[in-house]
Amino acid sequence: MNPTAAVLVAAREALHTRTPVVLIHLVSARGVDGEEPGLRAWYTDAEGLTGSVHNSKVDAVVAREAASVLVSGHPQMITLGTDGTEATRRDSEYVRVFLDVVVATPRLLIVGAGHIAQPLANISSVLGFETVVVDERADFANRHRFPAADEVFACPIEAFLEDYAIDDRTFVVLVTRAHRFDEAALRLLLGSPAPYIGMIGSRRRVHVVYKTLLGEGFRTDQFERVFAPIGLDIGAKTPAEIALAISAELINVRRHGRGSHLSIGDFRLGQHGGS
């Protein structure tokens, strides 16, 4: 397998497992023999740099810059001398390298398939989220009711959450039919890396859930990513309006916006926009 094909295979595998990866392209070179432009290497947090751009000194700098790109999420172009130091295209020897970060599509996991979940799934699909719906009721969780969702699961919620791989690009919305289901789901989600866990319910109901879970030994800092009551404060009343408020909050969190949250700020330490 040629180097370019190997990089592409690795990139596909990384995306399949939702692992962020930096693809490293040699754009141009001067005064360097045998260095043809093209896809040369890739970088992940787990494996570091795989493949080679030029030599060990250049590769070491590329690996360091790739780690930075992975954190920032912004592609970067760098120009290096053959000794790994910064160079320009006026120099007699250099390699010019483009670092392109590829991350998995953000995913929205909707727990509960009721009247709010339907418009929410439609809106999140339009917003570019990979949308997953789960509910134990097959007459609610099905393709007929959720044609825009990427996946729909009709199975016990707790069993599903125990096995489902939630990563730091998985946003979760709890809109189940009963308080006890939301509480059970939240109990399983508090230790996950999900950047957003939204839970439907009144402030009184939310306080009851928090009090119960704190009494079980969960820490207040584990509630930092929990947004409950859910949504931005837009005065939403109907299921579609509530779905819109939830979608707005998802974007607000993802893009670091300044919208006013409905959630109880005491349990979201350090979050912006809380009330």
pLDDT tens digit at each of 275 positions of the chain: 566 777 778 777 877 788 899 999 999 999 987 778 988 999 999 899 988 999 999 999 999 999 999 988 899 999 999 999 999 999 999 999 999 998 889 999 999 999 999 999 999 999 999 999 999 999 999 999 999 999 999 999 999 999 999 999 999 999 999 888 999 999 999 999 999 999 998 888 888 888 899 999 999 889 989 999 999 999 999 999 999 999 999 999 999 999 999 998 655 443 433 33
What pLDDT was estimated at residue 255? 92
- CA 236 to chain CA centroid, nearest Å: 26
Cβ–Cβ under 8 Å, residues 201 and 112: no
What pLDDT was estimated at residue 207? 87
What pLDDT was estimated at residue 2? 66
Q: Which residues contact 85 (CB under 8 A, 6 or more apart)?
A: none
What pLDDT was estimated at residue 173? 98
Cβ–Cβ under 8 Å, residues 117 and 175: yes
What pLDDT was estimated at residue 36? 84
What pLDDT was estimated at residue 70? 92
Q: Where are the domains of the chain?
A: 3-102, 107-267
State the pTM of this model: 0.80
Q: DSSP assignment, residue 117?
A: H
What pLDDT was estimated at residue 266? 56
Backbone angles phi, psi at 79, to 5 degrees: -125, 125
Can you say whether the dihedral through the CA atoms of 64, 70, 72, 75 is positive or negative?
positive
| CATH code for residues 107-267 | 3.40.50.720
Pairing relationship of beta strands 226-227 and 48-51 according to DSSP bridges: unpaired
